[in-house]
Structures are given as structure tokens and as C-alpha cells.
Structure 1
Amino acid sequence: MAFFQRGLRLAVLCSSFITGTALSASTIHDDFIAAEKVAKSGNKKRYQQTLSELEHPLKPYVEMAYLEKYPYLNNEPDIKRFLDVYEGTPLSWKVRESWLENLARLNKKAKFIEYFKDTSNSELTCLNLRYQLDLGAPSAAVLKQVTPLWVVEKSQPKACDSLFRKWQKQGYLTPERVWQRLTLVAQKGQHSLIPYLKTQLPKQEQYLADLYYAVRKDPSAAAGLYRFKQYTVKESEIVVYGLKRLIWRDPDLALRAWDKHLEKMPFSEAQKESVYYSFALSLASKQHKEAKFWLNKVPKDQHDKSLKQWQLTNLLQQSDWPGIVAYFIDKELDNSQQYWLAYALKEQGKEAESEAMFQALAQKRDYYGFLAAARLQLPVSLQEQPIVVDDAVKQSVAQAPGYLRAKAFFELERFTSARREWNYLVNTSTEEEKLAAALLAHEMDWHDSVIITLAQIERYHHLDLRFPLAYESLFERYSKRSNIDVSWSYAIARRESSFSPTASSSAGAYGLMQLLPSTASYINKGSISRRKLYDPKLNIRLGTNYLKYLKRKAKGNEVVATASYNAGYHRVAKWLPKEGVDFDLWVEGIPYRETRDYVKNVYAYRQVYHTRFGKNENLFTDLVKMKIQK
């Protein structure tokens, strides 16, 4: 690590970052920001002077900014040195990519090949192979590397076109490879490529592309037997793909179609088993009358976590206690299966066996452990352990350039760059160094990095770090104002964002409590932009107010409100039974796995926070008495 440190002044600066003394963070970062602007300006002389005077953990990023923007041939010595020094770090690729793109513009083929590194950038990869052919590399050695570039589910850049033509001319484009790509494209890729791939198929097989296209657009097309005339292996692949999708949309049509196709199509055993699995999973999640039949058709060695969950749910809905015991007894069980086996044994009157299993489970710190403890009227077991880190290791990590860069970016609120540096740091560290890094991140209130890092090294017992009292005054103030339990709002935020104020989701939710702008605007009774939702104060105020709103919609039931926070109240309302169902049975039968796991996690986290706030009662004691209904 000393390799990266330059001079006594930098050592003093590093010390100031660690201890918060000697130099103010504001002044240090101002110097970096000013130097970065100079680097991007293009004035080489001024840039070199500024760089020589700068002493800052992010100094390499000033170099990166200049070399990325000005990848000129006369800068090659600096580029080469930079790439050699920072290879493998988050600093290297942008400079290398910019340098390669410039070499391609200048048609410097040999130099391009010299600097090329394997990448997911298809355009650069194709250029590298093209240049190798142009400079006389053996065509067989090069062209065999083209196949995985062509057999993909999407279009490739134009830079690959001439390479593909040479590849095709040499006989590498076979009907088998066309079919392989067509399957990828039709099932999960860029379906607009299907008409092009149709032209690459033998004439007698081109109708298959039309079939795939029809089934991709509408899986019910797989149910029409009239579309399938030759009953070939390839036709059977299309049928299987279509029916595995159709079972989720129209189960009865899919079931009828399968029976008819089964009489004529040459399905392999593997294809049949994949259909059995998809049908079982879909029908069980929909509580279909045929679910049990299909669950039993799936070979036992294919009963993964998802299928076991729905087998269990199906048996619970039928109150089939002997069936649960037969399914799980004498097997290696996770906590969920152990809980329900103990429950089933109790329902069968086998009190001693049931209690022994509940006793063992009550020592676990999770949703099922807390449930088991509640059934035995025991306090929860948190199994908390203090974090112990060797001071020398902590000091070493605190001085590591990767840590200092991550810390500086965090303080500058450049969170994407901070995350890249943090990931590089922990991925190149020992377990003890990762633990030290987590402690350092905790001290600077970088909560999501702490939580992720501790999970990565499976250090689950450090509850003060894994369940921090982040933004405590804001959560207390707005939870009290909304008349909701602060442990509940904390648990929601912990599950939603791990307390990252800049968290965002693919669904378009933002901030600590992951609010959609539309939801936030409704609760606020006025428009709220995405940018504003990154403000912790506003996000917590609106998030706790939204919990209050959902609790009122759910007639005061916080379990239903919790599920609604994840899935939406109107969807959850459809899952509510007319007659009361026990809390744990209802949660286990939630049709959406994400929502089911969400409710379990939030209530486990809520118990941890409840205890952290000095309240010793087991919240699950009331939950096991609760009935869920409309």
C-alpha cells in the first residue's frame, strides 16, 4: 500500500483523513475539485503544475480525468505508466477504453492489440479480433473466438459486421448456431432480430422463426396444435417455452394444451421435468386445484427452495399436518421448514417433539426464531456480539489508498465512485481487514456499506453495526408525529435501503424509505420530484406518513400495512381472506415471494430495533394470536 503514497505531505494528509485533524476536509476537497477542473481544461502545462503540487487521496483521479479526455499519442508514456500502476482498480478502465478508442480512430492496429484487455465492450473486442486478422494472425485461432460474439440475444455493433462476414465465409455460421441464437433471441432477447435470423435458417425450417415470433408475442399461440405440423424436436422446444409462460397467464388453457401436445411431440425427459416444475410452481402459487398433482410430478431432487415453499404452502392451506410431517421429517431443514414441522407435530398432538423443535429454533435470531420463542412464551434471543478488531489492522486499513479514496468520494457525495472504490477495497482484503473497514465505515455513518460488507463475511452478530440508529432524531420525530412505532419505521428503512439516502430501485422508488414520486406527491398533497426524495428529512417525513396512511387503510393492522408498503394496498386487499387466518399462516401463503419475504424481514428487523430501544418484550407474542382477514 505504501507504493501509492507519495511523500511526507501526503502522509500528513492521510493522517488528517483518519483523525479529522490538521487539515479541514473542505479545504482538502476544494483543492481536488480545482485540480480536476484544470485537468479537464486541456492546458497541459497548467495541469502538470497543478498535479505536482496536489497532495490528496484522489490525486490519481485528476490524472485519470486528464488522460481519459486527452488520450493523445504524445501522452502514451503517461497512459502506459498509469495503466501499469492502477491496473485492476476502478481507475484503469476509463483511461484504457478512451485510449483504445483513439487508437482505433487513428488506425493504430498493432498498438491497439498491445493495449487491449478482455472486456464486455463488444465493439472493442471485435476491433481487437479484426486487427489481429489484418496483421496476419492465424484465422482459425481468431475466428473461433467470434462464435460467442455472434451467438447472443442482441444486436452487436457495426464494428463487428466485417468480422462476422469473414466468420460466415469460413463456414462457422451453421444451422445449429443459427437455431441456438434464435432460441436466445426469442426466449429472452431482442425479438426484432427474429426476421433476420429467419433468413439464416434452411428454407424448410424458416417457419420455426415465425412460430417462435408468434409465441414470444403471445404464449397462447403455443396452445394451437394447428401451428405445429412436423412434431420435431425443435417444435417441441417452442411448445415448452410457450407453455411455461402460458401457465402463469391462463393455467387451464396451458393444462389442456399440454395434454394434447404430449400425445404428439417428442418431448425429452428433461423437457417434461422442466414443464412439471413450472406448472407446479405456478399452480401452487395460484392455489389451483391441480397444484398438488403437479407438485408430486416434480422429481424430489428438483425440489429447490421455491418449490419446497409452495409445497409447504399448499399443504398448509389444506391443513394437511400428516403431509407436512411426511414431507419434512428426517430431512435437513431450514428455519422455515423446522418451524412448520414443529407446528404440524403440535397439531397432531405430538407435544414433546414439537416443543423440542421450537426450543431449538427459539435460539435463532430471525423471523421463525422469534415466532418459536413467542409460542413458548420466551424472550427473543439476539445472540449479539461486540465487534473486535485489532488496532493495527484497523490503522492499516485506515491508511490504505483505496479506503482514503472511498472516504473522500463519500464526503464529496459522489456515491457511485465511492461505491466502486469501496468494492475494490473489500474485494482485495482479508476477512479481518473487511471487518476493520466495516467498523471504519460505521464511524463515518456509511451504513449501507457496513451492512453489505458484514453480510459478505457472514458476521451477523454485530447488531449495533448491522442495525444502526441512523438519522435517529428524524425517525423519532416523524414516527411520533405520524403516531407509529419508531421500530416499525426503522425496520422498513433498513429493509428498503439499508439507510442509503441515495438508494434507487428499478421500479422507480427513491431514498431512505424507497418512495415512488407519485406516492410521495399523493402523501404530500403536492408534487415531489425524484431529486427531493434523496433528502433524508423529507423522505422520512413522507415515508412515516405513508405508513400511517396504509395503517389506516388496513383498519389498524400493521402486518397488512407492511405488506402493502411493498406490494400496494389494493393488491394485498385481494389476498385477505373472508374468514380470519392465523398471522403466520397468512404470511406463509402470500402469493408474491418478494412480499412474503419482505413482511418476514421487516418484522424480524422490527423486533431487533424494539430490543435495541430497551424494550424486552417479544413482539411476536401478540402476532401469534392475531387473525388476518378482510
Structure 2
Amino acid sequence: MLAALALGTAGLVVQPARATVSPPASAAPSASTQAAAPDAARAALLEMRAAFQKGDASRLAALLPRVAGDPLEPLAAYWTLRARLERASAEEVQAFLARWRDTYWEDRLRNDWLLVLGQRQAWEALLREAAAFRMNDDAEVRCYTALARWATGRASAADIAPEVRQAWLTQRQAMPGCAAAAQRLIEAGALPRDVAWQRARLGVEAGRLAVATQAVGLLDPEWVPLVERAYAAPQRYLDDKLTAVRHRTKEIVTLALIRLATVNPAEAAAEAAHLRWRAQLTDEERAWVWGAIGKRAAQRLSDEALAYFARAADAPLPDEWRVWQARAALRAGDWTTVRRAIEALDEPRRREPVWTYWLARALAASGRADDAAAARSLYERIAGSGGFYEQLAAEALGRPLALPPAPPPPTAAERAAVRANAGLQRALRAIDIGLRTEGVREWHYEIALHRPGGLGERELLAAAEWACERGVWDRCINTSTRTRDAVHIGQRYPTPLRELVTKHAQAIGLDPAYVYGLIRQESRFVMDARSHVGASGLMQVMPATARWTARKIGLTSFEPDQITDPDTNVRIGTAYLKLVLDDFEGSMALAAAAYNAGPGRARQWRQGPTLEAAVWIENIPFDETRDYVKQVLANTTVYAAILSGEPQRLSTRLGRIGPRLATARAPDTELP
């Protein structure tokens, strides 16, 4: 298979290229009287990144003078101080923040310093620094800031409890800041102890033991070994427990049942149905158990999922569990339950395009005139060209996808203002010399976080235009996509290498729009992209897949180092995609799922009832693959409109999906 669930630009590394961007006029001046030579600075910066990744503070300090005066000196200075931040003095930190004022790297170090101040409980210093924190996107910083406000008398425990509770329950990892804030609030009686047990349940269900043990340890460290035992061997723990009288025991039994659900939902259901648990656990505890069983059964595409969810009734459950109830109900064609599950979601989740669309479908299925009107209103709210459900909503309103006219191009003044932005200049230089991760972060900061609300629409269009001109396609796409009203399809859906892509696609009977739709999702047209699992190039081809496909198509001269060559990559990638598409009887949805997650998984997921493709896609168990398939198909529809000049319908590319017909040819089990 290809990029195997680790695709997209977030995890890409790019081979270095020579820098061409000029130094920003507004960068802070160096103490050096002469800037480092560009090639020498580039080499030093790449060596500094390696030293930073190793935590080699002395080597960083030795290399720093070699980048004096370079546009990326703020980044080099950040690496150097960050590597020893826990030992740095407050004066050193303030000197850095002053010297690199108004840059991303100033705010990045401020974020790191705020975490240090929080761990030291230096509350007054933390509050002073937090007031200048522009990104303000770190839950740990929010929790420490809330604690500081309480500790200094600026807020009461009741004032900060809701914010801390929300931040703690939604953190994926066991982090110290929010846990410390939650513990103090629990001890003060501002948060109920049950919040810690809820956090533990979420951790166990997500397979994060450290989250669960941290939460329970806040209540009593002596309970942690019991949680570890229940997590490691849930069935054995339950077999040894005949009674659950104490609250602590009931909760750990609940954790064991939830853990068992992640291993085997059917076994968990049989255990949860035992009289002793029905009699001894509370209604709330049993609801969480059945909710966890229902979620895990739904992810396994089990027909029993809805029955499990029904035993949780309408008890409050995490949104992430309720959406799996909605998915299971879609699979079963139970529109009443689809509606009830979506309406139980918190409003922000309910307003997402996916659940807005399916709620509209559920309302429309009722046959009531007032529900039909409400459904139309929901479709209107999300209809557009930008995504899978936006396109389907537009079609429900009778509007095929037609490309909007391009907005007026940036004026000379707008272009000049954006290109004078020192942060964007630094970002492009970083990307040019092979520091893509650092460059992408600084670019995003400048367009989205440097000032409240980010850049305005005209500035975004000008920045996207600049990125497109430089061939930095991922920044072009992502920047242009941030505009709400001025939609520039050419920036959002560029067509680099059109002759090459069209040639290889048409030569084997593949729709070029499908290829473009897949490339946009795979690599954002970063031509020498490489994912952390080794997938390479425009179409993110895995090495073994490339070798297999090259042999299959008779490309005997293929060498592994050729895979980042655009022509070779597209030739092999399109050939593999065509083989997958043919193996899945021309289903674009199945082929995209197979390209991302492997043919074996796609074959497994198609078993069961025959479903409309949108329902099947929404029930793909892997979050990444589900989103991937939706994005590829939505992209394909837009590219079809671009390449044909005609209105398009996403629905024509969906169809229905079910088991392979008995009359179909046997699956190609050699497909990697």
C-alpha cells in the first residue's frame, strides 16, 4: 500500500533546496557587523537543527555565531536558548524576547517559558508574560494562567473551574499543568471528584493508561496499582470482584469494563449484562460502560452496536462516542436514532458540516413538512464547494458545483505589503533550505495568529499568490483556504505539472481530476515530500509499492532514488491507483480508501449491507482514512470542474458500496 495512514503535509520532510528569498528588512539587527554568507549560514542552520533534536546545547552555542545576520537568526537563537531554558535566568529570557520582539520565535519561546513558570508556580511573572502571549493556543498555559489568577486573588476557584475542567477533559496526554489545576480545584471542592473518574474513563477508552493513572492518582496514589491491574487484565480483575460496594471499587470496575470493550466489545457486553454489575453499578456508570461498548462495536461495523448504545439510553456521553452511535444508525438506516444522536451532541460539534448534513437528511426522512423546511435551512447553512458535505448539501438544494469567479487580484500595494512581512520571508527561506517544519509553523503564525483573527482576506490572497509563485503549493492552498468570502479556486486547487499528470492519467484510462484530487490530499504538491513512514513524492508512494508497481508495468530501469522525480512518481503512482481502482470495480471511494489504508482493509470494510457511498465512507473506522476519502472525492469534483469547464456533481462519483458481486472477478491479492 502507499502512505499507510501517515500522509498529508504535517509529517512531511523535504530535501533542502537553495534559498532565494532576500533577508527581511524589518528583522531585528544582529550584533555582528556582517551577515553570515548564505551557504555557510544554511549549513550551520541544518547542523543546528540536528543539534537541537539531540539536545546538544553546547554545540548550538558554538554554531550560533555562524548564522549572525541571517534572516533565520531568530530561529537559531531560539534553538540555542530553548535547549537550556530550564537553566536559563529570567534576564536571559527577557533579553531574547526583547531582541526578537514581534517574531514567531519570540512568542514560541514565550510559550515554553510560560510552562516553566507554571511548573515553578511563579504566578506573578506568569501573569505578566501571559498577557503578551499572542498565540494563546496551549491548554497547559491556560490551566497555569487560571491557577495563577486564583492563587493571586484575581479570580475565585468557582471562576476558573469550568475552563480547567474543559481543558483537562479534552487533553489527549497526561500533562502536568491541567492536572495540577484540577487537583487543587478538587481539593477545594470547586470540582467534583467524579471529574477525575471521567478523565480516567476517557483515558482507558482511548488506550492511554498514563491519563487514567494520573487522574486517579490525584484522588489517591494508592489506587493507581488497582487501575493498572484492571487495565492490563480486565477480565481477570472482573472475575476476582464479586462485589462493588465502595465508590472506588465501582469506578475501577467501570474502568475494567470499558477496557474490556476496547479489546472485545462482545465479551464486554456479556460481562456488563451480569446481574452483579447491573445491581451494583450506578445508572451513570452503566451508561458509560454501554456507551464504550457501543462505540467500539460501531468501529468494528457490528450490527449489535445500536443495541448496545440503546442500553445507555439518553445518558450524557462524550461527543466522540455519540457520533459513533449516529454512524451506526446511518449504517442501519435508522433515521430516528441518527437524529437523536446528533441532537445530543454539544452545539459546536453538532454545527460541523458532517453532522449538519446528516441531521438535515434525518429531518428530511421524517416526511413532515416542518422537518423538510428545517432540513433545507440546514443545507443552506453549509452548502458550498469547499468540502465533501458542503458539496452534497448544495446538491440537495439542486445546485451542481460551478466554479465561482476569481476575486480581483491583489493590488501592487497589497502585494508589496505582504512581501515586506519579515515573518513570511523567514518562513519561505526556511522552507527553501530544508527547514520545512519550522517554515510552515512561522508561515501559519503570520497568517493566522500574529494578530487576533489573522490576516484579512485581501492579505491572505496576496500571501497565497506569493506562495504559488514560489511553488510552495501547500502554503498557497492552506493560506487561500482561510478566506471566507473571496474564494480563489485557482489558489485553492492549483494544477502544477498539468501536462505530466494528464499524460500519465489518460494513457491508462484514469481521470486526471481524480489524480489531482489525490495528489492535493497526499502531498499538497510538495514534490520531494517524504512522510515519516517513508512514503515519497507527489503521490506519496511507499518504497515497496514503488518497486512492485515498477515491475508490474515493466519499468525495469527503476531505482528507488528516482521516486521523488515528478515524472517517475506520477507514472508509478497513477499506475498503482489504476490497478487499485480496477480491483475495486471502479469505485473511487473504495480505491481511495485502499490507497490510504491498504487494499486488505478496504475489502474488509465493504463487507455487510450495501450502502450509499456517503454512509459507507462515514463508517470507515479509521479517522484519517475517513477524512482522506472525503477530501479526495471533494477535491476530484472541483478539479473535474476546472479541467472540463462544466458544472459537476459529487454524487456521480459515489454510487453504492457493498460486498463484491459473485460475478465479479476475484480480488487481486498481490496488490500491496
State the match for 1:214 in structure 2. Answer: 229
Would you say 1:517 and 2:548 are equivalent positions? no
Are 2:44 and 2:63, in contact at CA under 8 Å, matched by a contact in 1? Answer: no
Q: Secondary structure at the match of 1:487?
A: helix
Are 2:501 and 2:515, in contact at CA under 8 Å, matched by a contact in 1? Answer: yes
State the match for 1:416 in structure 2. Answer: 437
Are 2:364 and 2:372, in contact at CA under 8 Å, matched by a contact in 1? Answer: no
Q: How far off its partner does 1:572 sit?
A: 1.5
Q: Secondary structure at the match of 2:644?
A: coil
State the match for 2:509 in structure 1. Answer: 483
Q: How far off its partner does 1:401 sit?
A: 1.6
Separation in 1, partners of 2:375, 2:91: 73
1:405 aligned residue (413, 426, 451): 426
Q: How far off its partner does 1:234 sit?
A: 1.8
1:601 aligned residue (631, 635, 639): 631
State the match for 2:415 in structure 1. Answer: 394
Would you say 1:364 and 2:384 are equivalent positions? yes
- Opposite residue 246 of structure 1, the aligned amino acid is L
Separation in 2, partners of 1:554, 1:80: 60
- Opposite residue 450 of structure 2, the aligned amino acid is T
State the match for 2:613 in structure 1. Answer: 583
Separation in 2, partners of 1:413, 1:212: 45
Would you say 1:30 and 2:39 are equivalent positions? yes
Separation in 1, partners of 2:499, 2:255: 53
TM-score (norm 2): 0.63
Are 1:499 and 1:512, in contact at CA under 8 Å, matched by a contact in 2? Answer: yes
Aligned pairs for 1:354-503 (under 5 A) are 364-365=384-385, 366-368=387-389, 370-371=391-392, 379-383=400-404, 385-386=406-407, 389=410, 391-426=412-447, 427-429=449-451, 430-432=454-456, 433-456=459-482, 458=484, 461-501=487-527
2:576 aligned residue (532, 540, 546): 546
TM-score (norm 1): 0.67
Separation in 1, partners of 2:175, 2:317: 36
Aligned pairs for 1:94-493 (under 5 A) are 187=204, 208-224=223-239, 226-227=240-241, 231-260=245-274, 261-263=276-278, 265-267=280-282, 269=284, 271-298=285-312, 302=316, 306=320, 309-320=323-334, 334-337=355-358, 340-341=361-362, 344=365, 364-365=384-385, 366-368=387-389, 370-371=391-392, 379-383=400-404, 385-386=406-407, 389=410, 391-426=412-447, 427-429=449-451, 430-432=454-456, 433-456=459-482, 458=484, 461-493=487-519
State the match for 2:595 in structure 1. Answer: 565
Deviates more, 1:277-286 or 1:529-538: 529-538
Structure with greater helix percent: 1
Deviates more, 1:298-307 or 1:512-521: 298-307
- Opposite residue 516 of structure 1, the aligned amino acid is M
Relative to structure 1, is the Cα distance of residues 350 and 316 closer, same or farther in structure 2, using a 3 angstrom cutoff?
farther
Are 2:45 and 2:67, in contact at CA under 8 Å, matched by a contact in 1? Answer: no
Q: Secondary structure at the match of 2:572?
A: helix
Are 1:364 and 1:381, in contact at CA under 8 Å, matched by a contact in 2? Answer: no
- Structure 2 unaligned blocks of 5 or more: 1-20, 27-35, 52-57, 114-124, 134-140, 142-171, 177-192, 345-349, 661-672
State the match for 1:129 in structure 2. Answer: none
Separation in 1, partners of 2:382, 2:92: 61
Are 2:261 and 2:296, in contact at CA under 8 Å, matched by a contact in 1? Answer: yes
Note the aligned Cα RMSD (angstroms).
6.3
Q: How far off its partner does 1:581 sit?
A: 4.2
Separation in 2, partners of 1:588, 1:154: 30
Q: How far off its partner does 1:265 sit?
A: 3.7
Separation in 1, partners of 2:613, 2:82: 58
Q: How far off its partner does 1:478 sit?
A: 3.0
Separation in 2, partners of 1:153, 1:318: 34
Question: What CA deviation, in whole Å up to 9, does each residue of 1:339-367 have, x standing for no partner?
Answer: 52376357x99999799689958953243
Q: How far off its partner does 1:57 sit?
A: 3.0
Q: How far off its partner does 1:607 sit?
A: 0.5
Separation in 2, partners of 1:501, 1:546: 18
Q: How high is the sequence identity, in percent, across the aligned residues?
A: 23
Are 2:391 and 2:634, in contact at CA under 8 Å, matched by a contact in 1? Answer: yes
Are 1:153 and 1:185, in contact at CA under 8 Å, matched by a contact in 2? Answer: no
Structure number, greater radius of gyration: 1
Separation in 1, partners of 2:364, 2:343: 12
Separation in 2, partners of 1:62, 1:354: 55
Q: How far off its partner does 1:449 sit?
A: 2.0
Deviates more, 1:551-560 or 1:501-510: 501-510
Count of aligned positions? 561
Q: Secondary structure at the match of 1:256?
A: helix
Separation in 2, partners of 1:274, 1:361: 33
Q: Secondary structure at the match of 2:509?
A: coil
Q: How far off its partner does 1:304 sit?
A: 7.1
Are 1:325 and 1:344, in contact at CA under 8 Å, matched by a contact in 2? Answer: no
Relative to structure 1, is the Cα distance of residues 388 and 302 closer, same or farther in structure 2, using a 3 angstrom cutoff?
farther
Separation in 2, partners of 1:344, 1:222: 46
Are 2:588 and 2:654, in contact at CA under 8 Å, matched by a contact in 1? Answer: no
Aligned pairs for 1:19-98 (under 5 A) are 29-30=38-39, 32-33=41-42, 51=68, 56-58=70-72, 60=74, 81-87=95-101, 89-91=103-105
Separation in 2, partners of 1:356, 1:45: 65
